[in-house]
Amino acid sequence: MKTIGLLGGMSWESSLEYYRAMNREVSARLGGLHSAKILMNSLEFGELRDLMRAGEWDAIGHRLAGAALTLERAGADFMVIGTNTMHKVAPQVADALSIPLVHIADATAEVARSRGFGSVALLGTIFTMEDDFYVGRLAERGFTVLVPDEADRKLVDRVIFDELCRGELRDGSRAEFVRIIEDLAGRGAQAAILGCTEIGLLVRPGDTPVPTLDTCGIHAAAAVEKALS
């Protein structure tokens, strides 16, 4: 079994889910007392959030690349960035490494394609919904990507940072997310990508008839697949 390098803490709420999902996937596949081999470097998210607000993405990339190198030197065989938004600096991280990086958008695209979806809604932070690093990567793989209107993008972003990253799961916010997902389905989305690794904590299967793609679980499963290959 290969060792997974996990850049975590962004937020630590979703990092808990990554750890749980990876170990459950290994246990399901191998049985017995088997568990995942994981090296995690948990970053201080408050400092990174300040840099995000300031638009200092080069500094963020430098920090994540340094953290990833620490894991490579410690014995990680490949890298996972445990957050959608920070894949904005994934090229900078990948360039610093001599080991592969498993990209969350690629893993999500594979699952979406395998389930026959060609048009998808995307919910995430403002950066994920508006910047090209995620939407463009999906579009390059043939997907039509629909995002909420400006007011709803701001709502989703606020809930992520002010609630979900703090461990707050509010029924009112869940209802708003479901409304947004179903509005986008009405515009033609066949499924909704929960493109922030905390959203899957709020919107669960069964909350909406629209199929949802939980990027945290998908990314974790892709990491396990690579670890066991």
- CATH number for domain 105-214, candidates 3.40.50.1860, 1.10.3470.10, 3.30.365.10, 3.10.20.340: 3.40.50.1860
CATH class of domain segment(s) 4-103+218-228: alpha beta
What is the residue whose two structure tokens read 């995307």?
A: 122
pLDDT in tens, 67-91: 999 999 999 999 999 999 999 999 9
Domain chopping of the chain, boundaries: 4-103+218-228, 105-214
Closest alpha carbon to 176 in 155, 150, 157: 155
| Side chain identity, residue 211 | P
Q: Output the pTM of the full model.
A: 0.95
The confidence score (pLDDT) of residue 38 equals 98
pLDDT tens track for 35-64: 999 999 999 999 999 999 999 999 999 999
Q: What is the pLDDT of residue 99?
A: 98
Instruction: Summarize the confidence of residues 167-196 as an average pLDDT.
Output: 98
Q: Give dist(CA 216, CA 199) in Å, integer.
A: 9
Peptide bond into 11 cis (omega under 30): yes
Pick from 137, 132, 175, 176: which is nearest to 153 by CA? 176
CA distance 11 to 8: 7
85-107: average pLDDT: 98
4-103+218-228 and 105-214: same fold? yes
C-alpha 214 chain-centroid distance? 8
Q: Can you say how many angstroms the Cα of residue 135 is from the centroid of all Cα atoms in its chain?
A: 13
Residues 216 and 196 sit within 8 Å (Cβ to Cβ): no
How large is the average pLDDT for residues 92-112? Answer: 98
Q: Which pLDDT value is given to residue 49?
A: 96
Active site residues: 83, 196
